[in-house]
Amino acid sequence: MATVVELNCYPVKGCAPVRLQDAAIGPAGLPDDRTFLVVGPDGVFRSQRADPRLSLIQPRVDADHARLTLDGPDIEPLTIDVDTASPRREVRMFDNPYQAIDQGNPVADWLSTVLGVPSRLVRVPPEHNRITDGLTPGTSAFADSSAIHLASLASLRTLNDRIAERGEPELPINRFRANIVVDGWDEPDQEDEIRKVSVGSAELGYTKLAIRCAVTLVDQHAGRRAGLEPLRTLADYRRARQGGVAFGIKFAVLRPGKCSVGDELRITAQGPTER
């Protein structure tokens, strides 16, 4: 039986996580997850793919969701009042247009200093009604796709064994930036066959495999790319039919509820792997 060993919320897409012991999972996932987005002057989102220093920024959202604090290297922390009422502007993520609310010049200047390129911070508007793709429809804020990303330490151990055979050091699970990390399975990749699962009082429905990108090459504590792993080794044994390599799975939220570290995964439906 697998249990939850980590709950991670990423309030600002691409930035460091907030580790949680308990979370009230809503239709769009963990509270505040990917609610904020860093964009360039043209409104196109910034990602660790091109801006790995995003990983050095630690966000914190107050309990009432009214204030956001950003902490970063060699700069004083900044706290702003979250703006949910100003005029909307268009931003683009993976060539898709979304409406967002700009959070003002002070935080834009702060981010531009840390990242070394002109940047602004936007927030998802209250009326955001994005429909995500995959086997089970759902919604999310500015996540790449579905609301919840789950990864398994059993799968990581197998990956690290293969990486070690190349003489390379093992990688931490934070390279994969999952919301829910589970452990307890003897075999790797068992998550691929989950189609419906309950965790705590929440119920999740499978959407698709998590296809990995260059973000997994970024050392999350150093804010820079660090070699060819894990993509090189994943290409040996985790190629997906739709292209790319897979590690972890994505879920839509079927029933909101509370989830905690230590909760067991109760799998209620399974299916063949999409690989």
pLDDT digits (tens, 9 = 90+) for 63-91: 999 999 999 999 999 999 999 999 999 99
Residue pLDDT, tens place only, 39-72:
999 999 999 999 999 999 999 999 999 999 999 9
Q: What is the C-alpha to C-alpha distance for residues 78 and 71, in angstroms, rounded to an integer? A: 7
- In this prediction, residue 275 has a pLDDT band, given cuts at 50, 70 and 90, of confident
% of the chain with per-residue pLDDT over 70: 100
- In this prediction, residue 242 has a pLDDT band, given cuts at 50, 70 and 90, of confident
Position 13 pLDDT exceeds 90: yes
- Per-residue pLDDT, 274: 82
User: Domain coordinates of the chain in residue numbers?
Assistant: 3-28+132-270, 36-123
Position 30 pLDDT exceeds 90: yes
For 26, the token pair is: 């809503």
Residue whose tokens read 């910034």: 46
- Per-residue pLDDT, 139: 98
Mean pLDDT computed over 17-35: 98
For 94, the token pair is: 């993976």
**Beta partners for residue 98, in sequence order:** 91
**What residues contact residue 82 under an 8 Å CB cut-off, 6+ apart?**
61, 65, 66, 67, 68, 103, 123
**Beta partners for residue 99, in sequence order:** 90
Position 192 pLDDT exceeds 90: yes
**What residues contact residue 50 under an 8 Å CB cut-off, 6+ apart?**
none
Position 205 pLDDT exceeds 90: yes
Position 255 pLDDT exceeds 90: yes
Q: What is the C-alpha to C-alpha distance for residues 243 and 90, in angstroms, rounded to an integer? A: 30
Mean pLDDT computed over 216-221: 98
- Per-residue pLDDT, 29: 98
Looking at domain 3-28+132-270, what is its CATH homologous superfamily?
A: PK beta-barrel domain-like (2.40.33.20)
- Per-residue pLDDT, 97: 97
Mean pLDDT computed over 151-172: 98
Position 263 pLDDT exceeds 90: yes
Give the side-chain half-sphere CA count within 13 A for 233.
23
Mean pLDDT computed over 187-208: 97
Residue pLDDT, tens place only, 122-154:
999 999 999 999 999 999 999 999 999 999 999
% of the chain with per-residue pLDDT over 90: 98
Across the chain, mean pLDDT equals: 97
Q: What is the C-alpha to C-alpha distance for residues 9 and 26, in angstroms, rounded to an integer? A: 12
Q: What is the C-alpha to C-alpha distance for residues 37 and 45, in angstroms, rounded to an integer? A: 7
3-state secondary structure the chain: CCEEEEEEECCECCCCCEEECEEEEECCECCCCCCEEEECCCCEECCCCCCHHHHHCEEEECCCCCEEEEEECCEEEEEEECCCCCCEEEEEECCEEEEEEECCHHHHHHHHHHHCCCCEEEECCCCCCCCECCCCCECCCCCCCCCEEEEEHHHHHHHHHHHHHCCCCCCCHHHHCCCEEEECCCCCCHHHHEEEEEECCEEEEEEEEEECCHHHHEECCCCEECCCCCHHHHHHHCECCCCCEEEEEEEEEEECEEEECCCEEEEEEECCCCC
Mean pLDDT computed over 199-217: 98
- Per-residue pLDDT, 156: 98
Q: What is the C-alpha to C-alpha distance for residues 26 and 41, in angstroms, rounded to an integer? A: 31
Query: Would the pTM of this model clear 0.85, i.e. be above it?
Result: yes
